[in-house]
């Protein structure tokens, strides 16, 4: 008689919330915690380069703003250097963390970061990437955090030479990765989870 296979059943998948704000941004949620929410400020002093406001809204497939989304961003400083112990190309701006976390506004869904316009970073083969910000998005209903990039629409020459942008076969979807300038120093990057304007997400 054959032995029964010892196979475990898959546990139910779980999404990020509705309590993601309480756990990750307690001060935003009204639970006063000492020192403020992690990632709320990316600048710890005078920074180098162009200071910008990076903002946007996460929309669902019906075009409705998600008011319970949380966004994290990673980026290099204005010189293209990361605030990391693994950075060997130089010394990153000591007053810039390179990482931020923002909850979506509970009414409009808008996220907002006060940051700097990132410099270019080389691929392992030496090809330069265009300036970009990496985003990680979680919200109720999203089982696995979504990862994407925001490039800058006004960096046309660098974007044209970017290895990742150049590899996208459906050229009509490239604009979904572009942050557009809105006034002096403000860039807007809206994220569409589904639908005809769906943002490109990366499997990383």
**Residue partners of 107: CB distance under 8 A and separation at least 6:** 67
Mean pLDDT of 17-37: 75
- Dihedral of CA atoms 101, 104, 106, 109 in degrees, nearest 10, equals 170
> Would you call 22 helix, strand, or coil by DSSP?
helix
Please determine, for residue 2, whether its predicted confidence score (pLDDT) is greater than 60: no
pLDDT of residue 158: 98
Decide if 115 contacts 77 (C-beta within 8 A). no
pLDDT tens digits for 130-159?
999 999 999 877 778 999 999 999 999 999
pLDDT tens digits for 70-103?
999 999 999 999 999 899 999 999 999 999 999 9
Structure tokens that stand for 58 in this block: 């996460």
Who has greater pLDDT, 204 or 3?
Answer: 204
In the chain, where the domains are located: 50-192
Q: What is the C-alpha separation between 132 and 61, in angstroms, rounded? A: 25
Q: What is the C-alpha separation between 200 and 197, in angstroms, rounded? A: 9
CATH number of 50-192: 2.60.130.10
Decide if 62 contacts 141 (C-beta within 8 A). no
pLDDT of residue 133: 98
pTM for this entry: 0.88
Mean pLDDT of 53-57: 98
C-alpha distances (whole Å) from 62 to each of 69, 128, 135, 178, 195 are 16, 37, 22, 21, 7
């Amino acid at each position: 008689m054959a032995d029964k296979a010892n196979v475990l059943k898959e546990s139910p998948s779980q999404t990020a919330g509705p309590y993601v704000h309480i756990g990750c941004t307690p001060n935003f949620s009204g639970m006063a915690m000492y020192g403020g929410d992690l990632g709320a400020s990316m600048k710890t002093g005078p920074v180098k380069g162009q200071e910008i406001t990076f903002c946007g809204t996460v929309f669902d497939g019906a075009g409705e703003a998600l008011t319970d989304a949380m966004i994290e961003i990673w980026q290099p400083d204005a010189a293209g250097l990361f605030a990391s112990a693994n950075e060997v190309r130089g010394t990153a701006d000591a007053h810039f963390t390179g990482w931020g976390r923002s909850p979506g506004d509970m009414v409009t869904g808008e996220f907002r970061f006060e940051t700097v316009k990132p410099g270019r970073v080389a691929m392992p083969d030496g090809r330069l990437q265009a300036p970009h910000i990496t985003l990680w998005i979680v919200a109720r209903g999203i089982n696995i955090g979504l990862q994407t990039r925001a490039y800058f629409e006004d960096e046309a020459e660098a974007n044209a030479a970017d290895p990742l942008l150049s590899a996208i076969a459906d050229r009509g979807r490239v604009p979904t990765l572009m942050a557009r300038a809105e006034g002096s120093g403000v860039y807007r990057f809206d994220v569409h989870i589904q639908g005809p304007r769906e943002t490109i997400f990366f499997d990383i």
